[in-house]
């Protein structure tokens, strides 16, 4: 039933390269748990050494990965 929702289909299509090989039940659960957020330029999303409980899909913009000395390495 959820596959028939237009909004759901459009969202899945944006991540088709990721979700396509996944089992339908897993894909549906993953998408239902997603929500969007915007972060201003320069905001720290996760500090070095912190554990995190979220996965981020970057739709627009970029991030820097830094070491413990806040030196960008990627």
Please report whether residue 28 resides in a domain: yes
Please report whether residue 17 resides in a domain: yes
Please report whether residue 24 resides in a domain: yes
Confidence of residue 1 (pLDDT cuts 50, 70, 90): low
Strands (E) located in 1-74: none
10-23 burial, b if ≥16 CB within 10 A, otherwise e?
eebeebeeebeeee
**pLDDT, tens digit (0-9, with 9 covering 90-100), for 2-52:** 566 677 677 777 777 777 888 888 887 887 777 778 889 889 888 888 888
Can you give the pLDDT at residue 36? 78
More confident residue, 4 or 58: 58
Please report whether residue 64 resides in a domain: no
Q: Count the domains in the chain.
A: 1
Please report whether residue 63 resides in a domain: no
Please report whether residue 13 resides in a domain: yes
Whether pTM > 0.85 for this model: the answer is no
Can you give the pLDDT at residue 64? 92
Please report whether residue 56 resides in a domain: no
Please report whether residue 45 resides in a domain: no
């Amino acid at each position: 039933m959820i596959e028939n929702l237009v909004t759901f289909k459009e969202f899945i299509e944006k991540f088709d390269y990721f979700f396509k090989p996944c089992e339908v039940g897993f894909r549906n659960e993953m998408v239902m748990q997603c929500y969007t957020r915007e972060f201003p330029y320069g905001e720290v999303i996760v500090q070095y050494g912190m554990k995190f409980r979220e996965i981020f899909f970057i739709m627009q913009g970029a991030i820097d990965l830094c070491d413990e000395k806040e030196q960008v390495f990627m």
